């Protein structure tokens, strides 16, 4: 009951009755409950001290980049990135006329925070990726040109450096100590409005939306320009980097995602020391284990990662891992999912040995794997790809395909595969994307468009089509539901 309702109730009772009630309560030794407004107001969080203390450590980041061919110079980089992240098509134009001096300049906005007094600043990789110039503006209006020390697209973390000393730096917290329901605050530059403060609570932890890290979910208002800014706890410590939102409209809808600062700091340390991040790999294609499969093989639970394919000559092959194995532990730590296995292996320093426990034909076995280094993402397309419209069944699925040259296969370490140049219809609904490489159809490897078409033609018309697809360095199965053929 709030104060207004108490007042309304008081007006309905005659004064003698109220006095009698008060006298009775005192006579029985009972205290009247105080009005809650003042006490409750004191219990609500006060962010003013945090803003005064942390605000000077938060920076505005502006980037500029000359528009490249086939890009839209009318749309700034930050907005293009924002649209791409949430599946909104970005319109494109032809290349600008004239030389480089006449090329329009795209400008982007973002946020960041000062890691050290000598000018190291952390932000999102997508804020500075591809920028020809990066400008960092402090709250005292000083502006510095920054150089990009390194960026990691897989975690969306970047470190830039400005030439300054005695800067106010943030305090780094422990994101593992965050609790769901805990108050948090964000400072950034949404739409260019410097040092804007928003607040909310932690909605969920370890939200699994990426291959190499889990996210902190909050209801803190985040918009374009907030990217790279800090997420702070009530002690004024940075616990995350604001990176993404979930939106069906393009605007904030109450769900924001932040990169846990623990993972971001591990990435930043590698970027500062070597300019890049080293990650481990063992050379397996994996998937989550379904309940039916787990029961069928006698495992009894869906925890673990199912090995679907092993690269020739890979660390996994040398260690004796086989297709059909279920990896249940890495160095004694239980593995619950395929994504968790990728993160566990990626966190191991290349060249190190790891103990991998596998479940195989009813029993477990420990194998020692020498972890290799995960290579950077490489584009599958050549500079001038030859695109061929796919006739027959592939066209019916909405696929436009092209062959992969021997040079590309060697570079990407592929035995075969067919490159996806365009998707629509059933293929798009299934989640296939331009740039994917189809490795097999219904567990049969394909190395040409002709082989792919032949295999598709053998399948039943109404059957789900099982495609093994490579996207970047990850391999997964995509189930395509064909339309009536």
Looking at the annotation, which residues are catalytic? 126, 156, 227
Half-sphere CA count of 311, side-chain side, radius 13 A:
17
**How crowded is residue 218: how many other Cβ atoms within 10 Å of its Cβ?**
28
Which of 48-54's residues contact partners 24+ apart within 8 Å by CB, and which partners? Answer: 49/236, 50/185, 50/232, 50/234, 50/236, 51/185, 51/187, 51/197, 53/236, 54/170, 54/187, 54/230, 54/232, 54/236
Assigned token pair, 432: 């296939």
DSSP secondary structure code for residue 395 in this structure: H
DSSP secondary structure code for residue 338 in this structure: H
In order, the DSSP letters of 340-354 are HHHHHHHTSPTT-EE
Which SS3 state, helix, strand or coil, does residue 414 take?
coil
**Residues sharing a CB contact under 8 Å with residue 462, sequence separation 6 or more, in sequence order:** 482
**How crowded is residue 93: how many other Cβ atoms within 10 Å of its Cβ?**
14
CA angle 292, 211, 371 (to 5 degrees): 95
CA 77 to chain centroid: 19
Tell which residue, 226, 230, 225, 254, has the closest CA to residue 241: 230
Which SS3 state, helix, strand or coil, does residue 19 take?
helix
In the chain, what are the helix, strand and coil shares in percent, each to the nearest 5? 25, 30, 40
Which SS3 state, helix, strand or coil, does residue 374 take?
coil
Tell which residue, 318, 244, 259, 281, has the closest CA to residue 475: 281
């Amino acid at each position: 009951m709030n104060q207004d309702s108490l007042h309304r109730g008081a007006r309905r009772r005659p004064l003698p009755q109220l006095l009698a009630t008060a006298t009775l309560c005192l006579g029985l030794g009972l205290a009247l409950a105080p009005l809650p407004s003042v006490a409750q107001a004191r219990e609500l969080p006060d962010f003013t001290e945090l803003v005064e203390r942390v605000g000077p450590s938060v920076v505005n980041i502006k980037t500029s980049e000359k528009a490249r061919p086939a890009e839209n110079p009318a749309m700034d980089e930050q907005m293009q990135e924002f649209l791409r992240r949430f599946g909104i098509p970005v319109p494109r134009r032809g290349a600008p006329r004239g030389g480089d001096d006449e090329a329009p300049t795209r400008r982007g906005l973002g946020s960041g925070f000062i890691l050290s007094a000598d000018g190291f600043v952390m932000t999102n990789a997508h804020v500075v990726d591809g920028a020809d110039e990066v400008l960092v503006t402090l709250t005292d209006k000083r502006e510095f040109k920054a150089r990009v020390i390194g960026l990691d697209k897989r975690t969306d973390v970047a470190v830039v450096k400005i030439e300054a000393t005695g800067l106010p730096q943030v305090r780094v917290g422990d994101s593992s100590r965050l609790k769901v329901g805990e108050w948090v605050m964000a400072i950034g530059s949404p739409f260019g409005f410097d040092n804007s403060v928003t607040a909310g609570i932690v909605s969920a932890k370890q939200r699994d939306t990426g291959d190499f890290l889990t996210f902190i979910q909050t209801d803190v208002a985040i918009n374009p320009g907030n990217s790279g800014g800090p997420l702070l706890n009530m002690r004024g410590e940075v616990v995350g980097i604001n990176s993404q939102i979930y939106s069906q409209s393009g605007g904030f809808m109450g769900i924001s995602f932040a990169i846990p600062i623990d993972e971001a700091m591990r990435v930043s340390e590698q970027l500062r020391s070597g300019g890049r991040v080293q990650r481990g790999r063992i050379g397996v294609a994996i998937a989550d284990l379904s309940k039916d499969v787990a029961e069928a093989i006698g495992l009894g639970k869906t925890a673990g990662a199912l090995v679907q394919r092993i690269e020739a000559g890979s660390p996994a092959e040398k260690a004796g891992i086989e297709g059909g194995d279920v990896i249940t532990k890495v160095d004694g730590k239980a593995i619950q999912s395929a994504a968790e296995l990728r993160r566990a292996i990626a966190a191991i320093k290349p060249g190190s040995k790891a103990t991998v426990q596998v479940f195989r034909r009813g029993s477990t076995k420990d194998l020692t794997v020498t972890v290799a280094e995960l290579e950077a993402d490489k584009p599958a397309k050549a500079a001038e790809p030859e695109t061929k419209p796919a006739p027959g069944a592939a066209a019916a699925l909405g696929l436009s395909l092209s062959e992969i040259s021997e040079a590309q296969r060697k570079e990407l370490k592929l035995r075969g595969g067919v490159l996806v140049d365009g998707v629509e219809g059933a293929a798009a609904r299934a989640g296939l994307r331009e740039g994917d490489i189809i490795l097999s159809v219904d567990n049969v490897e394909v190395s040409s468009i002709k082989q792919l078409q032949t295999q598709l033609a053998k399948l039943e018309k109404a059957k789900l089509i099982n495609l093994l697809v490579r996207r970047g360095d990850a391999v997964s199965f995509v189930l395509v539901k064909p339309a009536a053929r």
